[in-house]
Chain A
């Protein structure tokens, strides 16, 4: 995902390099993926916190640290401290954010992804407990099966 493949030509470029699958940036809508003759597999997050900045195009965490500790370079292995998720105080007193919220795919989202050629789905679950992960996997398993039935029915 750090490569931030954003368009049809990006995916073709990585496909020609021998890449088997490309992870799309968070929040990529199905209509943005309608590319014929995909040379690689497409992977999307179906349950995630949508990131306001494109991974691979963001250096905020390398320079902005909420706890005041020395900066680390995220693109060289340091963990992202997600400063984009904090409330930001703007000059002049305005306060905002984080404006980007957790996104959970629904039934009506899954079929368009399948029709767009997406074959790999990802759940952002590193911070979740095992029972929560189990519940999510069960939810998406059923959703995907239903969506596949729906998609196959349309074909």
Chain B
């Protein structure tokens, strides 16, 4: 089990404006970028200048900067993703989070010295999956939200991997390769997901 001193409190920030305007001071680390939509305005996964400034901002405040990556990337997006990872690595990013096995392995092979996490959509339900990921160079997993604390404990103990748990906030329930507000509600992009819709 991790010692209390090793605990890390992190959050995710989609844009540079969200990082500088919001208070991230209490956090030890911040995941940068919005993994669900590359068209999200100001998304740090496509705003290269903003990403460099965000990493610098966090480091100047003594915080770790992790790069998130798209949750459902198509083949055509892989080169762009790896360009962003390369930029982040050059800027001294502290780690990369992958939700997708292809991206996970690409990062592991091209940046073997970079800390590698898998996100909540990597389908980690058992210690066997976590062990497989550990063999690929992954150092931290985020088990699926449906797992109990006891099951997460087993994953940590049997693999030696860091286990990340969501303790507060929105729990993502699904990923789509379509945009639901745009297709179902006829809203225009990029504003659809910013409307106050609940379902």
Instruction: Write the residues of chain A forming the contact surface with B, with a CB cutoff of 8 angstroms.
Output: 2-14, 17, 25, 27, 32, 35, 52-54, 56-60, 62-63, 73, 75-76, 84, 88-92, 94, 96-100
Contact = CB atoms under 8 A, between A and B. Distances in A.
Nearest to A73: B146
B154 interface: no
Main secondary structure of the interface of B (DSSP, over half): loop
A90 B75 contact: no
Give the interface size bracket for B toward A. 35 or more
B87 to A, nearest CB: 19
5 contacts: A6-B102, A54-B72, A58-B173, A59-B146, A89-B199
A60 B100 contact: no
Contact of A92 (B105, B123, B132, B197): B197
Given A13-B101, A54-B174, A57-B174, A7 B197 contact: no
A58 to B, nearest CB: 4
Given A75-B144, A90-B199, A7 B73 contact: yes
Closest 7 pairs (CB-CB, A-B): A9-B102, A10-B102, A57-B175, A53-B174, A96-B184, A91-B198, A58-B174
